Amino acid sequence: MDTIEEIKKRAAVQAMDFVRPGLTIGIGTGSTVYWFIQELAKKVRQGLVCQCVPTSVATRQLAVQLGIPMLELNDVEKIDITIDGADEIDHQLRLIKGGGGALLQEKMVAAASAKLVIIADNTKLVEQLGSFPLPVEVIPYGWKQVQRHIAGFYNIPVSLRMKDENILVTDHGHYILDCRFGEIKKPEIIAAELNALPGVVENGLFIKMANAAIIAGPGGSMQTLSV
């Protein structure tokens, strides 16, 4: 019986097919991308020439530790490809991201990329987005006002994300509100509404950004979705 980590690792290994010498690569954040970083580091040690842009402090720290050449987003004109994970993926390659708290930088790196490839295990593939709480990154000032507005407007539970009994603070000094929609029937509209709300920095809906998704499952199963 496959473990979930073995399944995630297979998706990460498959993503190496997209990696070629000389590319500028965006590296995502999360438990599946961890395995991609490990595989990429092996190739770098074997002589692969590339440069990479991280989507979080944690990703940068791990990549540097493993000897992967890293740059900041401001240092590059464009990114050839980004490999990242997702908390939910639908069959139109719309995503919910931000479970790891890095959604802002993940979206900025994705937006600068010619191609975004998502790697995930089969539990992340859904018919409709929304079972996973939608992260919304907000500035600390007045976060309760934003929370009340979202909860009241959509009639949903909205909670401030905590970590180790403290408020989780993102790499860029913001808070995250987790919005439990249950189902998101019109993600394009909700994404626009949330980002129009003063105090919201970014939301975890990634629409028309992913070009492909590698979905690994038990028993060695693998499928690739593309648009």
Which residues are marked as active site?
106
Q: Count CB atoms within 10 A of the CB of residue 227.
A: 11
Beta carbons of 10 and 38 less than 8 angstroms apart? no
> What is the rounded distance in angstroms from the CA atom of residue 109 to the CA atom of residue 86?
14
DSSP assigned state of 47: T
Beta carbons of 134 and 181 less than 8 angstroms apart? yes
Instruction: Report CA-CA distances (Å) from 176 to 117, 199, 203.
Output: 25, 11, 9
Beta carbons of 119 and 36 less than 8 angstroms apart? yes
Q: Count CB atoms within 10 A of the CB of residue 129.
A: 24
